[in-house]
Amino acid sequence: MEPLTGISATPSPAVTPPAATGSGALSSDFETFLKMLTTQMRNQDPLDPVDSADFAVQLATFSSVEQQVLTNDLLTGLGAQMAALGMGQLAGWIGLEAEVEAPVRLAGAPVSLSVTVAQGADAAELIVTNEQGVIVQRQPIAPQSGPVLWEGRDSLGLPLPEGTYRVTAHSLAKDETIARHEAHLHARIDEAQLDGGAVRLVLENGQRVSAGEVLGLRPPAL
């Protein structure tokens, strides 16, 4: 994986886009192509010469490919600049509490969640599944929307292994599931990182999420 460039409370130096690596090789190949073309013209059979239009087509085709690769290099550089700009803008998010819709990383400490329970429900529970899709916990909760503290324990009360889990709130009416809603994670943003051209936010539990997964921001609870 490419090295991470991060920013936290202190600003980091500007990120310089990677230099184009294909232009030098293309220039060399283009010169080689011209030499081959000249040699072909010098050594062609005078009784059966190659049509000049064919030479023009060869030259135009190679030139078109060269320009396409140079354009791709330019777009790559612009993409790196835009990613660095986006990371700079997200620096203002550091220290705020984010509401995130994503699988939850459990790192040995209780996790603050918010859940949605459907109207008309007379009971509700959290259903927790691991990365293999196996249900590892069922936790009864109040049949109302709001904050929930998930302690990350199994049915025997033992701590679940550290890892990433999917937490869903199931709304029940007369013991029948009437709705399912993904639980939202609430955690402080500690850092913004540039990872392979994409900006990632690092939460206080060590989880990395994209800016697009953030649903809301608020000052951290005192």
Check whether 139 has a pLDDT greater than 50. Answer: yes
In a domain, 218, yes or no: no
Instruction: Look up tokens 């040995």; give the residue.
Output: 108
Q: Is 106 strand, coil or helix? A: strand
Same domain, 118 and 148: yes
SS3 category, 38: helix
- Do 134 and 83 lie in one domain? The reply is no
pLDDT at site 25: 54
Question: What is the per-residue pLDDT across 96-133, written as a single tens digit (0 to 9) for each?
Answer: 999 999 999 998 889 999 999 999 999 999 999 999 99
Last residue of a domain, one of 63, 92, 121: 92
In a domain, 10, yes or no: yes
pLDDT over threshold 90, residue 30: no
Are 77 and 124 in a shared domain? no
Domain boundary among 157, 177, 197: 177
Does residue 192 fall inside a structural domain? no
- Residue span of the structural domain in which 165 resides: 107-177
Both tokens assigned to 200: 């990632």
Report CA torsion sign: 131, 136, 137, 138: positive
Give the Cα separation of 69 and 61 in Å (integer). Answer: 13
Do residue 116 and residue 82 come from a single domain? no
51 in a structural domain: yes
How many other C-beta atoms lie within 10 A of the C-beta of residue 170?
A: 20
Structure pTM?
Answer: 0.59
Angle between helices 52-90 and 22-42 (to 10 degrees): 180
Residues 83, 12 within the same domain: yes
Task: Judge contact between 197 and 80, C-beta under 8 A.
Answer: yes
Q: How many domains does the chain have?
A: 2
Does residue 206 sit within a domain?
A: no
